Structure 1
Amino acid sequence: MGGAVSAGEDNDDLIDNLKEAQYIRSERVEQAFRAIDRGDYYLDGYRDTAYKDLAWKHGNIHLSAPCIYSEVMEALMLQQGLSFLNLGSGTGYLSTMVGLIIGPFGVNHGVELHKDVVEYARERLDDFVKTSDSFDRFELCEPQFVVGNCLDISSDSHQYDRIYCGAGVQKAHENYMKIMLKVGGILVMPVEDQLTQITRTGQSSWESKNILPVSFTPLVQQSRPDAIKRDTVDLPPVSVRSLQDLSRIYVRRTLRFLTNEESRCRGLPAHKPPQKRKRRRCRQRCINTYVFVGNQLIPQPVESEEDECIEEELKDKEEEKEKEEEDATETLKAEEPQVNLLRDRILSLPLPESLKTYLLYYREK
């Protein structure tokens, strides 16, 4: 499913389209979408389709349409410190966006059936942490992925505040999914061709709300002889962070705050917003026509397109203006290269190189 919004030329253009179509409605969801380039989760040679509102599949690797992910992110109503379980975590694209919102003191787990996809997701996560400047603008709860069938999760596993299932759930498995949810928690999953938001209101009570019609591949049910015991999936343990890790989080948080405050004092934005493209508008003119209502002839305005020659002239002028804006933007970028302020601040500290490297998460960039 997809194609609900116009195709974008890059990630920011795609997000603009999703906002305009009201799929992205909150600032925190918008920030998460802008921080992670969807194209980075595509294989080489397929990136030209990354910013279309369409699902993509290559072998076992699969990405849902952007409009689906945005509705899921909004429906989950994410907050800092929550625990999240992604059933059918795939490339890790959604899990990483969730991690930017729930922050370092949340829990972020994913279960994926295919081992090669889990390896791919870990590679994409590692690339984001080590190479993306967006990583330094957030405090990430890094996803942990395990291989297994999400229908075989151990019965004594802990419960979660938020759960998403990225495959079609049959009615027979609906209660199985609900039991993994904490009271007050939210579960989002496709049920009978409807993306559904389920809120657990009590020990044995839930409220359901249909979000939009969807078409998902159903959950894979492994068929094995009864004599063969199926392997259970053990989710990662929820553990307390080490003192060393907590120190890194708080040092980086303090430096990020001080750097942003200094930028504001100098009248500079901490992070430049992406350049917005002006959308071409189709000018229309009003003409009068007449319609019969009963036995009366009534004048009525009707919208029609401008004459073809005027339309072409306007189009040429707008294209020329857009080209000038793009050239000006490129010149500005060349004169004012993007700077990772947090990274520069850490590198300027009078600290041993090994400690700087640790504070930078051993980043390559």
Structure 2
Amino acid sequence: MGGAVSAGEDNDDLIDNLKEAQYIRTDHVEQAFRAIDRGDYYLVGYRDNAYKDLAWKHGNIHLSAPCIYSEVMEALKLQQGLSFLNLGSGTGYLSTMVGLIIGPFGVNHGVELHRDVVDYAKEKLDDFIKNSDSFDKFEFCEPVFMVGNCLEISSDSHQYDRIYCGAGVQKDHENYMKILLKVGGILVMPIEDQLTQITRTGQCSWESKNILAVSFAPLVQQNRAEGSKPDAVELPPVTVRSLQDLSRIYIRRTLRDLTNKESPDNSLVQRAPQKRKRRRCRRRRINTYVFVGNQLIPQAVESEEDERIEEEQHKEEKEAQEKEAKEEERDIGSIEILKAVNVLRDKIMTLPLPESLKAYLLHYREK
């Protein structure tokens, strides 16, 4: 599934195309997509395809098409402090974007069938925390990934505000998924070749809405010997944050607010100025109509006035392109300077603190 939007040269181009096609419609979803480079979740050697609106699979590693993730993020209607469960969490790409929106007081859990994919997701998460400037521009709810079959979740598990299932759900598993949802919560999943948004309106009532026609591989049902009991998946507990975690959150928030006041341009993940050339439409006057078969076709008739207008437009277009080329050189230089500085991390590193405390404030610690 995919190919709904044209390919981009980089992550920002991809997001521009998704916005233009109305797959991304809200600012907070756009910011999350810009903060996480989709290419970082591809294996080395495959990144050239990262910014195409296509799904990608290599072994057990799988990424859905960007247009699918966009619709899912919009349909979940994410807010700060919500609990989120990702069934078939894969590389962690979607869970990481969700974590940027629900913030440090949310809950972010992922269940993935394949252990090697969970290890891959944890590796990508660590890389994001330690190396991405975007991590320091948001308050983040770190995903917790676990190995398990999402059709074997323990019956006494807690419920969630938001749930996404990244595999095709058969009709007889629909109620199983719904029970994991809190009243007032939203579940997004592919069912019967439709990406569907389900809102739980009461203890025994739901509202469903089809979002997009899709084609997903079905959920994997565990094979087991006849009469044997399945291995129940125990979801991570929802716990109160430790005093150390709370201290780090509020110290980083204070420092972030301070640096944002000093450098307001660094407060959000920004789109690099577009480097595309403007297209100018050349107007031609329609002076007559001709019949072709049974159709009446407008026919442009050239005149000295048309030629003069075209020459003027050509001259204006050339001047505009030269001006844009100069502006582009200045923009690229300023972007490189902006990306080279992470003001929050620089601020932490200049504080008169022990190195171990600086490392903890930077979120570098043993899991």
TM-based fold match above 0.5: yes
**In the TM superposition, what is the alpha-carbon distance from 1:110 to its structure 2 partner?**
0.5
**Aligned partners of 1:336 and 1:236: how far apart in 2?**
39
Higher mean displacement: 278-287 or 340-349 = 278-287
Higher mean displacement: 244-253 or 346-355 = 346-355
Q: 1:274 aligns with which of 272, 275, 279?
A: 272
Match of 1:189 in 2: 189
Quick check: 1:64 aligned with 2:64? yes
- Which string of whole-angstrom CA distances, capped at 9 and with x for unpartnered residues, describes residues 95-118 of structure 1? 000000000100000010111000
Q: 1:328 aligns with which of 317, 327, 330?
A: 330
Match of 1:176 in 2: 176
Match of 1:236 in 2: 236
Match of 2:357 in 1: 355
Higher mean displacement: 198-207 or 316-325 = 316-325
Equivalent residue runs for 1:87-98 within 5 Å: 87-98=87-98
**Aligned partners of 2:179 and 2:172: how far apart in 1?**
13
**In the TM superposition, what is the alpha-carbon distance from 1:299 to its structure 2 partner?**
7.9
**Aligned partners of 1:177 and 1:170: how far apart in 2?**
11
Contact in 2 for aligned 1:167/1:217 (Cα 8 Å): yes
**In the TM superposition, what is the alpha-carbon distance from 1:280 to its structure 2 partner?**
4.9
Equivalent residue runs for 1:147-166 within 5 Å: 147-166=147-166
2:168 counterpart letter in structure 1? G
Distance 1:216 1:355, change over 3 A: same
Contact in 1 for aligned 2:277/2:321 (Cα 8 Å): no
- The DSSP-based 3-state class of the residue aligned with 1:86 is strand
Match of 1:257 in 2: 257
**Aligned partners of 1:158 and 1:22: how far apart in 2?**
35
**Aligned partners of 1:184 and 1:335: how far apart in 2?**
45
Distance 1:279 1:3, change over 3 A: farther
**Aligned partners of 2:248 and 2:78: how far apart in 1?**
24
- The DSSP-based 3-state class of the residue aligned with 2:184 is strand
**Aligned partners of 1:176 and 1:23: how far apart in 2?**
29
2:37 counterpart letter in structure 1? D
Contact in 1 for aligned 2:81/2:106 (Cα 8 Å): yes
**Aligned partners of 2:172 and 2:246: how far apart in 1?**
42
**In the TM superposition, what is the alpha-carbon distance from 1:347 to its structure 2 partner?**
1.4
**Aligned partners of 1:319 and 1:115: how far apart in 2?**
52
**Aligned partners of 2:190 and 2:73: how far apart in 1?**
14
**In the TM superposition, what is the alpha-carbon distance from 1:322 to its structure 2 partner?**
6.1
Distance 1:162 1:290, change over 3 A: same
**In the TM superposition, what is the alpha-carbon distance from 1:263 to its structure 2 partner?**
2.2
State the TM-score, normalizing by the size of structure 1: 0.89
Unaligned runs of 5+ in 2: 301-305
**In the TM superposition, what is the alpha-carbon distance from 1:229 to its structure 2 partner?**
1.8
Contact in 2 for aligned 1:288/1:299 (Cα 8 Å): no
- Give the percent of matched residue pairs that are identical in Structure 1 and Structure 2: 74
Distance 1:335 1:348, change over 3 A: closer
- The DSSP-based 3-state class of the residue aligned with 1:150 is coil
Match of 2:281 in 1: 283
**In the TM superposition, what is the alpha-carbon distance from 1:348 to its structure 2 partner?**
1.6
Higher mean displacement: 344-353 or 174-183 = 344-353
Distance 1:149 1:301, change over 3 A: farther
Equivalent residue runs for 1:1-365 within 5 Å: 1-264=1-264, 270-271=267-268, 273-278=271-276, 280-281=278-279, 283=281, 285-286=283-284, 287=286, 290=289, 324-333=326-335, 338-362=340-364
State the TM-score, normalizing by the size of structure 2: 0.88
**In the TM superposition, what is the alpha-carbon distance from 1:325 to its structure 2 partner?**
4.6
Give the alignment's Cα RMSD to 1 decimal.
2.9
**In the TM superposition, what is the alpha-carbon distance from 1:326 to its structure 2 partner?**
4.3
1:256 counterpart letter in structure 2? R
**Aligned partners of 1:169 and 1:191: how far apart in 2?**
5
**Aligned partners of 1:33 and 1:228: how far apart in 2?**
44
